[in-house]
Amino acid sequence: MAVHHTLDVRSVRLTSGPMADWQALNAAATIPHCIVQLEPSGVLANFRRAAGEETGGHQGMVFADSDLYKVIEAVAWEIARTGTRRFDLWLDEVIALIGRAQEPSGYLHTWTQLRQPEKKWAEMEWTHELYVLGHLIQAAVALDRAAGRSDLLEIAQRFADLVWDEFGPDGRDGICGHPEIETALVELHRHTGDDRYLILAGRMIDLRGHGLLPVGLLGAKYFQDHTPVRESDSAAGHAVRQLYLNAGATDVYLETGDASLLTAMDAQWDSVHDRKMYLSGAFGAHHKDEGFGEDYELPSDRAYAETCATIADLHWAWRMLLAGGSAGPAAYASVMEREVHNALAASIDATGTRFFYANPLQQRPDKVSEDAAPRERAPWYPCACCPPNIARAVAQFGAYVASSTADTLWLHQLAGAEIDLPAHLGTGVLRVATGYPLTAGIELVVDGAPAPGAILAVRIPEWSAGSLLVAPDGEHAVDADGYARAPLVAGGRYRLDLDLTPRLIRAHHRVDALRGTLALQRGPVVYCVEQADLPAGPAVDDLILLPDEGIGSNADGTLTLTCTVASEEPLYTANGEAVHTSASPVTAVPFATWGNRAPGAMRVWLPAHWWETRQIADGQLFAEIARPNKPKEAQ
C-alpha cells in the first residue's frame, strides 16, 4: 500500500531551472514536431485505412498506433500544466478518427485489422495488441483528468472491456509479449473505480513466467516469461519490457498490499540499479535483444541504453518511492534525478526536434551509424517509440517533484516550482527558487497557512550530506533517510546550499569495460569530453586524465580538467609504458549537451594515469574516489 501520496496533477508547477525550460521547449517544439511526424510516418493513415476511409496496407511497426496515443498523452499533460487550448481541434480530429477505426466489438489495433484480421490474439508474443491498449488507456486517463473530456476514455474502456471478456478470470490465459498493459490497467482502475481492471492487471502479473509465450530464438528471458514475477530477483531480457513490467507489478502492490510483490520488486531494484545501471541513468547493454546484460556488463561504446528504458525506469522509481520500498525515498528520487539530467536529457537536442534512440557513453570517431544508434540525433525513427515517449515524460515532470504523507510535504526533486499544499497540510503555496543543478542555492518560501504540526522534508543529495537546511527555527542536518526536516510555518523562509564541487567517479571493479577509467560528475550532472572542444586535436580517444591535478568549475557549467595525450604506438607492446605528451587543460561538458555542435567522438569514462584501487562496497555500482590532492580554484 502507498506510503507516500501523489499531489494533484495541477498542484506542482515548474517555474525555473532546466526542468521548467525543458517543459517550455517540449510545448513549443517537441509536441508539435511529434504531431507533424504522425502523418508522414503513416500512423494516421493506418487509422483511416482501418476505418475504411482510405485504401492501402499498414505502414510502420506493429505497435505504431502507440505513437499517436503517446502524443495524445503528452498533449493531455501539457493541458494540465498550462490549460492550453491550442491542441483542441487536433484532439477532436484524431479522437474521432480513432473512434471510427474501432471495431464494434471494441477491438482496435490497426496492424492486425489491416494485415491479419482473422488472427486477433493469435501471436501475442509479437503483435503488441495489449501494449498498444496500455498506451491508449494512459492517454485516455490523462486526457480525462487534464481536460475533463471522456471521448477517448470511452474508446479505451470498450477495448479494455473486450480484453476482460477475453482474458479475465472466466476467459483464457494470455499475456502480452511487451508488458505495459499492467500499469495502465491499474491506472484505469484508479480513475474509474472499476475493480475488474485491477483484477485483470493482477492476473497478467500472475500468469507471466509460466511459458505462455512461444518465445523463439530470443528465449523466454527476452519476454520476462522465464520465471514468475514473485520469484524473479534479477533483471533480464529486453530492458524496456522488464522495467514496464516492474512498474505494473509495483502498481498492483500499491492497490492490493500484496507484500510478495514488493519483496520481488525490492530484489529487482537492487539488480537493476546496483549492478546494471549506467552512470547516466540508462539501461540495456545489448543491441541484439535491446536487453540487460549480466551483472556489471556495462560497455560504454556498445551500450544500447534505449531512451524508453530510462523513461520506463522513471515510472517505476516513482512507484517504488510511493510504495515505500526498502531502498528508501532518497534512493528512488536520486535515481530519477540522475535519469532526468543525464540519459533522458541527452536523448534530445537543443531544438527539441531531433532524438537519440540509443544513448552510448562513448562515441568512437569512426563509428558507423546503425538504425537505432546513428552518429547524430534523428528527427524520427522507423521504430518511433522514443520521441513521443520523451514528449509525454517531459510534460509530466511536475508529478515527480513532491509527495505528501500524514504530516509532511516531501520535496524530492530540487527544481524551481510552485507547490500547492495538499488540503490536510493546510492552505497556500510552497515556492522554490533555484537554478540547480547549475547553481547551488535553493530558497523556499511558504506563502499561506500550513496546518499546525506540518513538516517540510527536503532531500539533500548524498554527495552533499554536510549541507544544512536553514529554517526559521534554526539549522537542520540531513536525517538517516536523506531528508532534512523542519516545521512548515506561515511565511517561513528556508535555504539550502549544496556542495557542487566536481567529483571523480570510479566504477565497481567487476565492470571490466571501465577498469582504469574515471568519470566526472558535478552535482547530479555527468560530464563527457567531446571532440568538438578539441578542433585541432588531440583525439578524444588519446586523452589520459591526470586526477591529481584537480578539476576546475566554470561559470558556464563546463569543467576544466588536465590530461596528457598518449603517443601513437603499436596495438600491443611489451615491457613498457606509453609515452605521453605534456599536460594540458581540456574542457568537459555535460553529457546531456553532447552532439549539439557537430558529430564526432565523445567519452564519459576517461583512462586515468592514477585512480583509487580499493574495492567499493557491495551493493554500490559507482563511488567517488578520494578528492584530488591539488584541487583547482574555480575559474
The answer to whether residue 241 is domain-embedded is yes
CATH code for position 484: 2.60.420
26-30: long-range contacts at Cβ-Cβ below 8 A with a sequence spacing of 24 or more?
A: 26/74, 26/78, 26/352, 26/390, 26/391, 26/394, 26/395, 27/78, 27/81, 27/82, 27/84, 27/395, 28/352, 29/351, 29/352, 29/353, 30/74, 30/348, 30/352, 30/353, 30/387, 30/390, 30/391, 30/394
422 shares a domain with 388: no
428 shares a domain with 531: no
Q: What is the pLDDT of residue 612?
A: 64
Q: How do beta strands 474-476 and 408-411 pair?
A: unpaired
Task: Write out pLDDT tens, residues 389-442.
Answer: 999 999 999 999 999 999 999 999 999 999 999 999 999 999 999 999 999 999
Q: 613 falls in which pLDDT band (50, 70, 90)?
A: low
The answer to whether residue 20 is domain-embedded is no
Q: What is the pLDDT of residue 615?
A: 72
Cβ atoms of 509 and 615 within 8 Å: the answer is yes
Tell me if the bond preceding 538 is cis, omega within 30° of 0.
Answer: yes
The DSSP line for 125-160 is TTS-HHHHHHHHHHHHHHHHHHH---HHHHHHHHHH
518 shares a domain with 493: no
Q: Which residues contact 182 (CB under 8 A, 6 or more apart)?
A: 134, 201, 204, 205, 244, 245, 247, 248, 249, 251, 252
593 shares a domain with 568: yes
Task: Write out pLDDT tens, residues 458-515.
Answer: 999 999 999 999 999 999 999 999 999 999 999 999 999 999 999 999 999 999 999 9
Task: Write out pLDDT tens, residues 568-602.
Answer: 778 888 776 667 788 899 999 999 999 999 889 99
The answer to whether residue 18 is domain-embedded is no
What 3-state DSSP class applies to 312? helix
Question: Is the pLDDT at 614 greater than 70, yes or no?
Answer: no
268 shares a domain with 248: yes
The answer to whether residue 19 is domain-embedded is no
The answer to whether residue 450 is domain-embedded is yes
Q: Quick count: other Cβ atoms within 10 Å of Cβ 224?
A: 25
Cβ atoms of 305 and 280 within 8 Å: the answer is yes
C-alpha cell, 528: 563527457
Beta bridge partners of 409: 404, 456
Residue the block writes with cell 532518497: 330
| Number of residues that this document lists for the chain | 635
Q: What is the pLDDT of residue 58?
A: 97
Spacing of C-alpha 174 from chain mean position = 28
Burial letters 155-176, b for 16+ CB under 10 A, else e? bbbbbbbbbbebbeeeeeebbb
Burial letters 380-417, b for 16+ CB under 10 A, else e? bbebbbbbbbbbbbbbbbbbbbbbbbeebbbbbbbbbb
Which of these three, 396, 413, 429, is where a domain ends? 396
The answer to whether residue 633 is domain-embedded is no
Task: Write out pLDDT tens, residues 550-572.
Answer: 899 998 999 999 999 987 778 88
What angle in degrees, to the nearest 10, is found between the helix axes of 195-207 and 239-256?
130
Which of these three, 497, 527, 551, is where a domain ends? 497
CA distances, 445 to each of 406, 455, 471, 505 (Å) = 21, 14, 10, 35
55 shares a domain with 183: yes
412 shares a domain with 384: no
The answer to whether residue 39 is domain-embedded is no
Question: Number of H helices and number of E strands within the chain?
Answer: 16, 23
Question: Is the pLDDT at 323 greater than 90, yes or no?
Answer: yes
Q: What is the pLDDT of residue 625?
A: 83
Question: Is the pLDDT at 624 greater than 90, yes or no?
Answer: no
220 shares a domain with 333: yes
Cβ atoms of 531 and 602 within 8 Å: the answer is yes
140 shares a domain with 103: yes
Would you state the torsion angle of the CA atoms of residues 182, 183, 186, 190, taken in this order, to the nearest 10 degrees? Answer: -160
pTM over 0.85: yes
Q: What is the pLDDT of residue 634?
A: 39
Q: What is the pLDDT of residue 629?
A: 47
The answer to whether residue 620 is domain-embedded is yes
Question: Of 103-112, 371-380, 536-545, which one has max mean pLDDT?
Answer: 103-112
301 shares a domain with 422: no
Question: Is the pLDDT at 290 greater than 70, yes or no?
Answer: yes
Task: Write out pLDDT tens, residues 182-226.
Answer: 999 999 999 999 999 999 999 999 999 999 999 888 899 999 999
- Tell whether the torsion through CA atoms of 522, 528, 534 and 537 is positive or negative: positive
Work out the average pLDDT over 86-104. Answer: 98
Question: Is the pLDDT at 69 greater than 90, yes or no?
Answer: yes
Q: 529 falls in which pLDDT band (50, 70, 90)?
A: very high
389 shares a domain with 464: no
Instruction: Count Cα neighbours of 355 within 13 Å in the Cβ-side half-sphere.
Output: 28
Beta bridge partners of 622: 507
Rounded distance between C-alpha atoms, residue 300 and residue 359, angstroms: 9
100 shares a domain with 178: yes
Average pLDDT across the chain, whole number: 94
Q: Cα angle at 85 between 80 and 91, to 5 degrees?
A: 90
Question: Of 20-24, 577-581, 624-628, which one has max mean pLDDT?
Answer: 20-24
Give the structural domain span for 457.
402-497
Q: What is the pLDDT of residue 577?
A: 67
Which of these three, 381, 396, 411, is where a domain ends? 396
Counted domains in the chain: 4
Task: Write out pLDDT tens, residues 340-364.
Answer: 999 999 999 999 999 999 999 999 9
Closest CA to 466 of 475, 457, 474: 475
Radius of gyration of the chain (CA): 25
Question: Is the pLDDT at 54 greater than 80, yes or no?
Answer: yes
